[in-house]
């Protein structure tokens, strides 16, 4: 058996693993990264980037259609047609550029990248199957083992995912590489993926029905924020069935059986079914159980330095549970490399912003008014509507608002929320103000460029202080 030694061995080349590898190499740590699929992981290949690319393409197509029937702006379009194969090629081109860039960065920093599937032997030893038929695996021994194997999509019993593109029951992975747009799409789950991709398919021409088990869409977000999203779904003709469970495929296979809250069953016709009911940490199928690491629910338990319960075995990203977001995985990856290099770091962010790229977009960072109340914090909060923001008017996107939550006693800002077109870009301002401990007066006293959506951020702070200027 071929064997080799390294100081840091990283399993998984997603945003957690590849960022950890780059930072570790920068700090002079001999680093080997094993990736069985493609560098960039879920995020770059079948997650964040491809979904945002398709959201952009679907928005552009929808806009072109809009101009066929509405000439408010004086724009007339005769017809619009989409070549979905070309759209997918364009999306794949962006993915290739980014994943190629990750490979180049790893090479530049001297990280050894091994393409193969890792299988745990013990906490310091891993076998890698290089996929060369019956050739023996390569054995790697390390001082530090960093687990960054990400997460996998959850399925529904009796509804296995099709292996092929264009199959009946699909996950987000297949939905991101459509070979055609189905006439009728049923989406199971009105969470991040269900709504982001459900809207894409609707804008590309499918009849979309979303089936959600809970009594409202995006149950992770506070209800006020999701109202403009619900209104937009209605306007676009997306049918949303709340308090409903998909039971399985119908007997003839022409659709899905749905059970409502009153116990009534009905059949929804579907050419395709996108199951988007959440993801689970990728803990099975690669010998991880042998290490008998402490778990927290389905995730690996880690402390605030990303240490697992075994010495010198570390874990980051989706494998360690919620929030399963790429920027959290990256931040943990950078931190763990620094801890291994001997730096004193703790993973204790004031807030991790979360964005849902629906139309309109939703962004949250820190505490909502309800979270603050639950935490027994005496807070004030104020909102500023985009209906009173000039930039929003010029973008024809006046739905939504920015809300700030701050402590009543010292005005320390503890949370931001916004819903509206393009508000994902406010995540940076929200995150910075929370990490830097800004007070309402700091944001209210900062000159915000005009005309920008960001002025609504300043106005929300002014309003919380009782003297908003433009409302
Ligand atoms: P991953 O990116 O999953 O990477 C893990 C890697 O490990 C994979 O490449 C896998 O092949 C490899 N691996 C696993 N086991 C082994 C093994 N035994 N041997 C070798 N290699 C192995 N997050 C956001 O923040 N913003 C978004 O807009 C967003 N959009 C998303 C859209 C979709 C459709 C999906 C599915 C997810 C989205 N996410 C988004 C979530 C984001 O993709 C994840 O949080 C992020 O990728 C987690 O990074 P990670 O490094 O922990 O794991
Ligand atoms: P999710 O947790 O966001 O939403 C799943 C939804 O499915 C929930 O509303 C849940 O109530 C519903 N559900 C669960 N079981 C159901 C059932 N049997 N029938 C009907 N509804 C059911 O999960 P997701 O949309 O699959 O996304 C997975 C993860 O990927 C997210 O949690 C997030 O971490 C990540 N992600 C992030 C982004 C982003 O940051 N913009 C985008 C996509 C995915």
pLDDT digits (tens, 9 = 90+) for 353-408: 999 999 999 999 999 999 999 999 999 999 999 999 999 999 999 999 999 999 99
Strands 255-259 and 265-269 turn out to be antiparallel
Q: Which helix or strand (DSSP H or E) is residue 128 part of?
A: strand 125-129
The ligand 2 atom at the shortest distance from the C-alpha of residue 356 is 41
State the Cα–Cα distance between residues 218 and 311, nearest whole angstrom: 39
Residue 230: pLDDT band (50, 70, 90) is: very high
Active-site residues: which are they?
450
pLDDT at 134 over 70: no
Whether 256 contacts 270, CB under 8 Å? yes
Which residue, judged by its Cα, is nearest atom 6 of ligand 1? 12
Distance from the alpha carbon of residue 192 to the mean position of ligand 2, in angstroms: 5
Average pLDDT over residues 444-462: 98
Nearest CA to ligand 1 atom 32: 47
Mean confidence (pLDDT) of the chain: 97
Where would I find the beta strands (DSSP E) of 254-304? 255-259, 265-269, 272-275, 279-281, 295-296, 299-300
* Distance from C-alpha of 448 to C-alpha of 436, rounded to nearest angstrom: 18
Residue with the nearest Cα to atom 24 of ligand 2? 278
Q: Report CA(170)–ligand 1 centroid distance (Å).
A: 18
* Ramachandran bin of 221, using left for φ above 0, alpha for ψ from -120 to 50, beta for the remaining angles: beta
**DSSP result, 409-434:** TT-BEEEEEEEETTGGGGHHHHHHHH
More confident call, 134 vs 55: 55
* Omega before 90 within 30 of 0, i.e. cis: no
Out of 42, 315, 329, 358, give the residue to mutate to test ligand 1, the one with the largest number of ligand atoms within 8 Å of its CB. Answer: 42
**How remote is the CA of residue 236 from the centroid of ligand 1, in Å?**
30
If you search the block for the tokens 């399925």, which residue do you land on?
A: 155
pLDDT in tens, 281-339: 999 999 999 999 999 999 999 999 999 999 999 999 999 999 999 999 999 999 999 99
Is residue 51 helix, strand or coil?
A: helix
Contact 470, 444 (CB under 8 A): no
Quick one: pLDDT band at residue 437, thresholds 50, 70, 90? very high
Per-residue H/E/C for 195-261 = HHHHHHHHHCCCEEEEECCCCCCCCCCCHHHHHHHHHHHHHHCCEEECCCEEEEECCCCCEEEEECC
SS3 66: helix
Mean pLDDT of 142-166: 92
Q: Give the closest residue to 372 by CA, choosing from 361, 362, 364, 363.
A: 364
251 CA distance to ligand 2 middle (Å): 27
* Location of structure tokens 């979905």: 84
Largest CA distance in the chain: 73
Closest approach atom of ligand 2 to CA 354: 40
> Distance between CA atoms of 113 and 313, rounded to whole angstroms?
19
Ligand nearest to the CA of 244: 2
* Phi, psi of 355, rounded to the nearest 5 degrees: -125, 135
Q: What is the pTM of this model?
A: 0.97
Instruction: Say if residue 424's pLDDT is above 70.
Output: yes
pLDDT for residue 56 is more than 70 = yes
Among the atoms of ligand 1, which is closest to the Cα of residue 118? 19
Residue 123 pLDDT class (50, 70, 90 cuts): very high
Cβ neighbours, 10 Å, residue 72: 8
């Amino acid at each position: 058996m071929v064997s080799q030694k390294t100081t840091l061995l990283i399993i998984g080349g997603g945003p957690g693993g590849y960022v950890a590898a780059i930072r570790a190499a920068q700090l002079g740590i001999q680093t080997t990264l094993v990736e069985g699929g493609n560098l960039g992981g879920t995020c770059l290949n079948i997650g964040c980037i491809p979904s945002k690319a398709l959201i952009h393409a679907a928005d552009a197509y929808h806009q072109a259609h809009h101009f066929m029937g509405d000439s408010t702006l004086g724009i007339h379009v005769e017809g619009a047609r989409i070549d979905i194969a070309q759209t997918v090629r364009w999306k794949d081109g962006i993915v290739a550029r980014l994943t190629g860039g990750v490979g180049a960065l790893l090479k530049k920093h001297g990280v050894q990248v091994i393409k193969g599937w890792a299988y745990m032997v013990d906490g310091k030893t891993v076998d890698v199957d290089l996929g060369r038929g019956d050739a023996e695996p390569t054995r790697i021994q390390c001082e530090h083992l960093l687990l960054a194997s990400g997460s996998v999509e959850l399925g529904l019993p009796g509804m296995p995912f099709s292996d092929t593109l264009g199959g009946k029951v699909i996950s987000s992975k297949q939905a991101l590489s459509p070979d055609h747009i189905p006439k009728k799409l049923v989406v199971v789950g009105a969470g991040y993926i269900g709504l982001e991709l459900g809207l894409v398919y609707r804008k590309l021409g499918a009849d979309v029905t979303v089936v959600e088990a809970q009594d409202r869409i995006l149950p992770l977000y506070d209800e006020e924020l999701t109202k403009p999203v619900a209104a937009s779904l209605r306007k676009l003709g997306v049918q949303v069935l709340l308090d409903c469970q998909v039971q399985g495929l119908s007997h003839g296979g022409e659709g899905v059986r749905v059970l409502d809250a009153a116990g009534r069953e009905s059949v929804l016709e579907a050419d395709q079914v996108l199951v988007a009911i959440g993801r689970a940490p990728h803990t099975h199928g690669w010998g991880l159980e042998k290490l008998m690491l402490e778990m927290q629910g389905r995730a690996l338990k880690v402390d605030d330095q990303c240490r697992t319960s075994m010495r010198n075995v570390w874990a980051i990203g989706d494998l360690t549970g919620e929030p399963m977001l790429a920027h959290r995985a990256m931040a943990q990856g950078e931190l763990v490399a620094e801890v291994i290099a001997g730096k004193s770091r703790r993973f204790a962010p004031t807030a991790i912003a979360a964005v849902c790229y629906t139309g309109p977009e939703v962004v949250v960072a820190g505490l909502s008014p309800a979270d603050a109340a639950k935490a027994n914090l005496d807070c004030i909060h104020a909102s500023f509507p985009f209906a009173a923001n000039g930039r929003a008017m010029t973008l024809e996107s006046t739905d939504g608002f920015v809300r700030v939550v701050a402590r009543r006693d010292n005005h320390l800002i503890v949370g931001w929320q916004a819903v509206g077109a393009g508000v994902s870009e406010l995540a940076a301002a929200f995150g910075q103000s929370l990490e830097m401990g800004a007070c309402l007066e700091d944001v209210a006293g900062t000159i915000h460029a005009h005309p920008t959506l960001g002025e609504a951020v300043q106005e929300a702070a002014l309003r919380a202080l009782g003297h908003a200027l433009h409302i």
